Amino acid sequence: MIRIDTDEISLVRSATARIQQLVSLVPDDPRVYLSDNATQDRVILHLILSIQACISVAAEIVANESLETDGGLGGLFDSLANAGIITSALVVPLQMATKLRNRILFDFENININEVYDAACTASEVLVEFLVQVRMR
């Protein structure tokens, strides 16, 4: 069985729950979200926290299982899929989440806030499914 840092799991669960809660308060019209800077900031913070925690879990598993990786953060998820730890269907959504995290952290001024809104509406399910799959191993 793969051992995973329980603090990272708790962080992903609490951050994704907070994202879902914040998004549920915003009507389906993204214009409302776009007009509320405080909610945007909270969603961005929790997205970064939950995505980073999943990256940390992936890196820990790759290291502990001595899996080959291409060296990039997105490659961690390829390695996990190649080892049968996660399904290949999760790889691209996790890599997209990782790319969004990188753009938020390193190119924040050019972030498309509509993309953040879309990610907030869908990323939580992907990140929680990642935890489910790695814990089943």
Pick from 4, 40, 24: nearest CA to 132: 4
Tens digits of residue pLDDT in 102-125: 999 998 888 888 888 888 888 888
User: Which domains occur in the chain, in start order?
Assistant: 6-135 (1.20.120.580)
Other CB atoms closer than 10 Å to residue 130's CB: what's the count? 25
Task: Retrieve residue 93's tokens.
Answer: 């959504």
pLDDT < 70 stretches in the chain: 1-3, 25-28, 137
CA dist 40 and 31 (Å) reads 12
pLDDT of residue 37: 87
Distance CA 39, CA 21 (A): 11
